Amino acid sequence: MHLIKLTLLLAALFLAVQAPCAVQAAEPLKPIPATVTVKFPQGTATPSEVCGECHKAIYREYAFGFGGDNRIQDIAAVISDKRDISHPINMSSMTTAHAMAGTDPFPRHARENEVEGKSCNVCHFPEAFNLPDLNVSEIFKPKPRSKDAETAGLSCASCHLTPEGKIRGPYNLRAPHENNPDVRMKTSIMCAYCHSLGKRVAGKQTQTFLEWRDDFWKQGLGSQNCQDCHMPRTNRKLAEDYKVPDRVSSRHLWTGGRSSQRLQNALNLVAVQPDKGVSKLEFHVINIGAGHSVPTGSNRRAVYLQVEARDSQGKVVAGNSWMFSPWYGSRPDDKAFLEEDKKLPDAKAAMQADAQGPHENIIRAGEERILAWTPVLKPGSYTIQARLVYDLNRYNDLADMGDQTLFKSTNLDVSVVK
């Protein structure tokens, strides 16, 4: 597990967002400047702390995970020495996946072991981009920053800065910087470039936006955009120190695979004994709440269905498990391709996926997947226990449960007579 590395420099922002001391007089609110005073010469390499000087609550959510339920404490951002706002030592929540992009140990593991040290300088460190069309047939990678501009990580400017140097946002308002009002900020289009690559291939990794568009939105399963689940809304000032009204704002949390709430709302699990007295069982895994496949994104992600049969004394007498995970490429992972994989430029990553062999495909939006199991059981009474476990990295030893989350379980009492 990776240790938390925190650079303690200035504590200005963190102190500013705490409750003020009763003996301190409140600072007077500032008027919005009549002219533009803030520019972004560093482009998307502008550190997020620059934005946090005015947008304190939003920065606090992004950097510290305030308001989220991320709890995997061994995963934490590695803070650059160039950053000028300190992080608190102890927190009950965890920084967001966007704040730690490029320093998360799993992408680092991929860089070192799967792609021979290459940088993830595509989605994590893009230059400013224009938003794509909703119905685009293929999602191309955004243009990456230069190597010397990676230290800012995935910054606020990565999403909000336009190629013209203006700040993209949902409101047409006056601010110290130039604005580019764009209501598409509140739609899934905003997520397309980094959360889908290439053309749609059902079952493949990095297809989340296309899964949402093709399986959920176009099929009429719902009208929610990514932000409706991953960025819950609130009313607040967007810049706390200025004379501005409260506005509807999305919380910059992006709760996902590290959030028990998101996992629990995504899948449901039902155990069934179709025929009385017979040991044949069914397990229905139902995508009831995600607007995309589960699991989605990186091929390292997996969901395990683990089942056990316990006798009347509580002893485990039979068990089985299934793994659901995205394919690495445009075909199912399969050990039969290991020799061919050696010829690929991404041989390590391809072989790692194929070495685990065939597995269950990911569960698409609205899908009900039925898994059958007929354990050999003697006549008697049994309790069938079924669990769904989310794993952030299926290539780790399965016994390493530090990156696993049990998010759904169910029991079923059955009798077997033959």
User: Which tens digit of pLDDT belongs to each residue from 101-110?
Assistant: 765 544 444 5
Domains along the sequence of the chain with CATH = 1-187+225-254 (no CATH), 260-416 (2.60.40.10)
Q: Which residue has the tokens 């130039």?
A: 178
Q: Which of 350, 322, 349, 346 has its CA nearest to residue 336?
A: 350
pLDDT (tens digit per residue) in 174-186: 899 999 999 999 9
pTM: 0.87
Tell me phi and psi for residue 45, to 5 degrees.
-85, 5
Q: Per DSSP, what are the bridge partners of residue 391?
A: 302, 404
Q: Which of 266, 271, 191 has its CA nearest to residue 226?
A: 191
Give the Cβ contact number of residue 387 at 10 Å: 17
Tell me phi and psi for residue 76, to 5 degrees.
-150, 155
pLDDT at 4: 33
pLDDT (tens digit per residue) in 384-416: 999 999 999 999 888 888 889 999 999 999 999
Tokens of 383: 């309790």
User: Is residue 345 reached through a cis peptide bond, with omega within 30 degrees of 0 on the bond before it?
Assistant: no
pLDDT at 95: 82
Reduced to 3 states, what is the DSSP secondary structure of residue 256? coil
Tell me phi and psi for residue 215, to 5 degrees.
-95, -30
> How many Å apart are CA 279 and CA 300, to the nearest integer?
34
Q: Which residue has the tokens 């409260």?
A: 246
Tokens of 175: 């601010």
pLDDT (tens digit per residue) in 322-371: 999 999 999 999 999 999 999 999 899 999 999 999 999 999 999 999 99
